[in-house]
Structure 1
């Protein structure tokens, strides 16, 4: 069997989303315009994004014994995600409360609940069960940090390309970075983790090197409408920097854009695509995800991503990524 699949280790939630013209100020109540209830969680979103991008995808995580369990499990399967590695634990399924304003900006409160029950032993069983089919492991930070750290180490030992989206940003054990091949923070996450204020390409490159100096092979920092920066450390210690322009879209809801980016990136890497092509597919998926309200409903399929890439080829309206080879890293 081909090892072209993706194993996602992480969170699964029921996303309860309220839409209103603007977000309330502290202590204020505003009238909303709409309400949705969908599958969510950064882990589940990445799994759906990878599956819709065409990769055989397994989700490893935990759900509770409540009514939300059926909603999230059915949704994972409907999107083509294999659920053999999802465990049911006593208690309630995780919930995310999301508020979205008319410009597409959002704020989120996550209650982990069943997600906190994921253990290192469960992770090991999932890696063993899927290692003959998977090439890439996707991680986030909505399950216990110790479990994420163990998953990164175990995934690397199993020969998987380990991709970490460090969100929501939080302090991690220093030794986790040596097991991460690719890290994909946005501006605020990169700022929180590195202490470097990220507000454009040059500061993003400095923050990227913070990760590389701790053992990460490649740092991909997304900059919203400005695009993304990639810094990759070569075997000889030199850094190769690439700047990728954003795809022009009109955002409606940015909730799952980062998950779409990382999921599509992981699927492309699992399929054997080159680095630049994989990054562009991730960026196209992230851009498209902002054009639809909700988390899992906004995650685009392979056809939509390919259409956006075809409409904006590297050598026409979007120039090829600018590669800047730096001197040997200190």
Structure 2
């Protein structure tokens, strides 16, 4: 698990991505089009795929650094404080005039959700801001973690710069969209769920066998590895030379919001901290499993002690 002494100074995770205020309603079911439905609860918390993954990396014990933008509205303090409170560095978090990013999330009694995201301040992120962060932090970081909730051109730019700086590039391709295939040789691990893998590859992913087929689509285009998550069916890691299956951990799902982000954040932090890849994936699976047992986005992400306890209580 541990890094060698000479590597311990480069154990950070640099997260480039979105930061949103999550406005979440909870109700027995999701309303039909045109219907008004009385709900059960409401929360306002830090969210956004980038911020959620940064929080997960911070709670995992990682040396996490967030690169993104918030606005100057009433939500900005909630967002910045939420990152700091989770141990995330905000030196390269930029405040820009106007509203912060917003996500409106609706969750039903079964834990399923739908989400509308309005980027707002997130659209102010620039290549220059990313370049400055990588120049400053690359000597101390081992992993870049990024997603697709910011403009693809910026995600692509971050991947190229991080690759050139010698960082391990982990791409969570969510929300999924068609990507420039020239990027895949620069990606060390791509982590789609079954829906995202199907959108990106055109291969319906319904089980482990089809997940392997989709994984080979990514590796045939140059990605070093594809880690496809399959919810209750676990996950499949595919490289050019091997296939490895990982079992899911059984839990009672309350809210699936941020489960994938917890998985990605713990994966990035664990790899940066020197965990073997298999152990890093198991730790990420445990983090994702615990997240669905709690309501909300960033508040549902577990700390490292809870993840360790779950792994100790679960069969290898």
Which runs of 5 or more structure 1 residues have no equivalent in the other structure?
Answer: 234-238, 315-330
Q: Which residue pairs with 2:274 in the alignment? A: 272
Q: Which residue pairs with 1:88 in the alignment? A: 95
Q: Which residue pairs with 2:117 in the alignment? A: 110
2:225 is the counterpart of 1:223:
no
SS of equivalent to 1:169:
coil
Alpha-carbon separation, structure 1, partners of 2:202 and 2:38: 38
Alpha-carbon separation, structure 1, partners of 2:131 and 2:123: 16
SS of equivalent to 1:32:
coil
Alpha-carbon separation, structure 2, partners of 1:86 and 1:112: 15
| Backbone CA RMSD of aligned residues | 0.8
Alpha-carbon separation, structure 2, partners of 1:35 and 1:83: 27
Alpha-carbon separation, structure 2, partners of 1:200 and 1:29: 37
2:289 is the counterpart of 1:282:
no
Alpha-carbon separation, structure 2, partners of 1:80 and 1:292: 20
Q: Which residue pairs with 1:198 in the alignment? A: 205
SS of equivalent to 1:131:
helix
Query: For this pair of structures, how many residues does the alignment match?
Result: 309
Alpha-carbon separation, structure 1, partners of 2:181 and 2:98: 32
Q: Which residue pairs with 1:159 in the alignment? A: 166
1:118-168 CA-to-partner distances (Å, cap 9, x unmatched) read 111110100011112110010000111000001001101101000000000
1:89-140 CA-to-partner distances (Å, cap 9, x unmatched) read 1221000000000000000000000111111111010001111211001000
Q: Which residue pairs with 2:108 in the alignment? A: 101
SS of equivalent to 2:150:
coil
SS of equivalent to 2:267:
helix
Q: Which residue pairs with 2:196 in the alignment? A: 189
1:244-270 CA-to-partner distances (Å, cap 9, x unmatched) read 000011110001000000100011100
Alpha-carbon separation, structure 1, partners of 2:247 and 2:267: 16
2:81 is the counterpart of 1:74:
yes
Query: Which has the larger displacement, 304-313 or 31-40?
Result: 304-313
Normalized against structure 2, the TM-score is what?
A: 0.97
Residue in structure 1 matching 2:176, options 146, 169, 172: 169
Alpha-carbon separation, structure 2, partners of 1:175 and 1:68: 37
SS of equivalent to 2:178:
coil
Alpha-carbon separation, structure 2, partners of 1:279 and 1:298: 19
Alpha-carbon separation, structure 1, partners of 2:162 and 2:123: 20
Pairing 1:117-266 to 2, within 5 Å after superposition? 117-233=124-240, 239-266=241-268
Normalized against structure 1, the TM-score is what?
A: 0.92
Alpha-carbon separation, structure 1, partners of 2:161 and 2:139: 15
2:65 is the counterpart of 1:58:
yes
Following superposition, the deviation at residue 171 of structure 1 comes to: 1.4
Q: Which residue pairs with 1:321 in the alignment? A: none
SS of equivalent to 2:302:
coil
Alpha-carbon separation, structure 1, partners of 2:150 and 2:207: 30
SS of equivalent to 1:307:
helix
Alpha-carbon separation, structure 2, partners of 1:122 and 1:313: 44
Alpha-carbon separation, structure 2, partners of 1:292 and 1:129: 36
1:45-74 CA-to-partner distances (Å, cap 9, x unmatched) read 000000100111000001111111111001
Alpha-carbon separation, structure 2, partners of 1:263 and 1:35: 25
SS of equivalent to 1:109:
strand
